[in-house]
A and B are shown apart, each in its own frame.
Chain A
Amino acid sequence: MMEIFNNFYNLVPVTFTQSLIYALVAAGIMIPFRILNFPDLTSEGSFPFGGAICAALLVAGYHPIAATLIAVAGAFAAGCCTAFIHLKLKINTLLAGILMMTMLFSINLRVMGKSNVALFDTQNLLEVVWKNTGTELDQQIAVFVILVIVICLVLLWFFKTEIGMAMRAVGANLNMASAQGISTWAYTIVGLGIANGLNGLAGAILVQQQGYSDVNMGLGILIDGLAAVIIGETLLGRQAVWRQIAAPFLGSVVYYQLISLGLAAGLQPSDIKLATGIFVLITLGLPVLRGGSAETMKLRE
């Protein structure tokens, strides 16, 4: 028992660092699911896409900041494409996301040229921030905590602006939004762009932090993100906009510690996806089994 706790305790800082990066993915999943009412599966492709672009550009000699920003732009465009596929071709939202993420898999291989790119002697974002002094864990945590807090605050502000409010209206009621002069197309496209831009940013930061990019790094990320969102919502509620926006951030930090605890307690890494899947199933399915309505998942077709 003591040993389990020690194993877990020793890993808390490492896990915390990772969970900060994945918090961006959770936010990138929350925005389409909860704010735009558009269940977007693109993240499984846009997250590694951000990583692939960033890795390829770093190897090609780009500055880490430029590589990261271009990765964000690429993932933003991927999100816009998913929205466009749904709006223009009238393809179901889920299918549009699956199509996009499947196509991105090939694109990611093209971008990297192979399935795995190591970043040994390229400079990364952390080294830029800390002027090439090492990349100790506490230095990483300092950078990521600030980054995540800034992004969370920007999102909080954004969804209170006129444009952000219009975007929320599109997710709440398409008819009402267009009757108020809001272009449901433009806001859906930009909204999915922003969400996937966050996914791409997470991918770009992760490859720099771990020192390599892998074409499979997006596998299962959607369910992880969804689990984080659900945990955050359980802790914070969804009554106010700030709670909804803070939920993925808090949820991600808690979720990855729970996973770490599970691993310390003897859960096999290969079983994690099953455990997470069952958790998401239970939280989404429980209200229905209790005889309530499936309110949590009423989404745009």
Chain B
Amino acid sequence: MLEVKDAVKIFHRGTVNERPALNGLSLKLETGDFSAVIGSNGAGKSTLLNAIAGGISIDSGTVSVDGHDLTSSPTHKRAKWVARVFQDPLGGTAGPMTIEENLALAALRGQRHSLRLGLNSQRRDYYRDLLKTLGLGLEDRLTAKVELLSGGQRQSLALIMAIITEPAVLLLDEHCAALDPKTAGIVMDSTVKAIEAAGLTTLMVTHNMQHAIEYGNRLIMLEAGQLRLEMSGAEKTSLDVESLVERFHITDDKILLS
């Protein structure tokens, strides 16, 4: 369960560049909820995800996961509960390290690192099985450096890394936006399959209205750092793009176009 209460974040407070990003935003996801997050540029979507993952600290309010108050924990301490896939395919993986090393580090998330060897044949077999589910042939390239992979392969790996520990909360910030449409489709398919298979509590930011409608059991829309509307269950199932646009009075070009 994820709970954000009255989160406020104002960048450059008290200067001419003051930018309110979160304006007392509250949000609650039950365990297993899969929610799409939409909203125009600058609505505060990334800031919300950063506030949950620990990339930024909020000015006031609280963030808790499964009853643990994470508000003042640094990112690496939250990693035990929170996993994320960045928009930038370079962001979530260590390029100079191999595929298997990246997976080993992800699998150790939330555990104490030891002086045992990070890799062994048992772990490798496990990674191979996980990579097979992607259908990209990465299972035969365990010892290849990640920097040699394409954006789509790298993002797929980042996804596997994020879900390998079955995190209490999964955060996806437009994780397909930097990929070409075909690759984006493949990565999105694997994403949804993985989330549904493991029943992960997920927040997925997307600019793709079709994806927002099709995937997940909930939909929320942010505007000016606040929760503008939310939908769930049957109400969401009966939604189509036109009624969504009408219902949310979406006028933002970027949302309509994508």
Contact = CB atoms under 8 A, between A and B. Distances in A.
Nearest to B90: A173
Interface string A149-189: 00000000110111111101100110111111111100000
A165 B99 CA distance: 12
Contacts of A178: 54, 74-76, 79
Contacts of B108: 162, 166, 180-181
Contacts of B55: 175
Nearest to A160: B117
Contacts of B92: 175-176, 179
B118 A172 contact: no
Nearest to B53: A179
A161 B94 contact: no
Among B55, B76, B117, find the residue whose CB has the most chain A CB atoms closer than 10 A. B76
Contacts, number: 92
B139 interface: no
Contacts of A169: 94, 97, 105
Contact of B76 (A158, A173, A182, A239): A182
Given A168-B97, A181-B80, A182-B105, A162 B110 contact: no
Among A158, A161, A172, A176, find the residue whose CB has the most chain B CB atoms closer than 10 A. A176
Nearest to B108: A162
B119 A160 contact: yes
A172 B104 contact: no
Given A160-B119, A182-B105, A177 B94 contact: yes
B76 A183 contact: yes
B105 A166 contact: yes
Contacts of B105: 165-166, 169, 177, 180, 182
Nearest to A169: B94
Among B75, B80, B93, B115, find the residue whose CB has the most chain A CB atoms closer than 10 A. B75
A179 B52 CA distance: 12
B20 interface: no
Nearest to A238: B96
B117 A173 contact: no
Contacts of A239: 145
Contacts of A179: 53, 75, 79, 83-84, 92
Given A162-B116, A166-B113, A181-B80, A173 B104 contact: no
Interface in B44-102: 53-55, 74-77, 79-80, 83-84, 86, 90-97, 101
Contacts of A158: 115
B121 interface: no
A165 B103 CA distance: 11
A172 B63 CA distance: 29
Interface of B: 53-55, 74-77, 79-80, 83-84, 86, 90-97, 101, 104-106, 108-111, 113-119, 145, 161
10 contacts: A161-B113, A161-B117, A163-B113, A165-B101, A165-B118, A172-B96, A175-B55, A176-B92, A183-B74, A183-B76
Given A161-B113, A175-B92, 13 more contacts: A161-B115, A161-B117, A161-B118, A162-B116, A165-B113, A166-B108, A173-B95, A178-B76, A179-B75, A179-B83, A180-B79, A182-B105, A239-B145
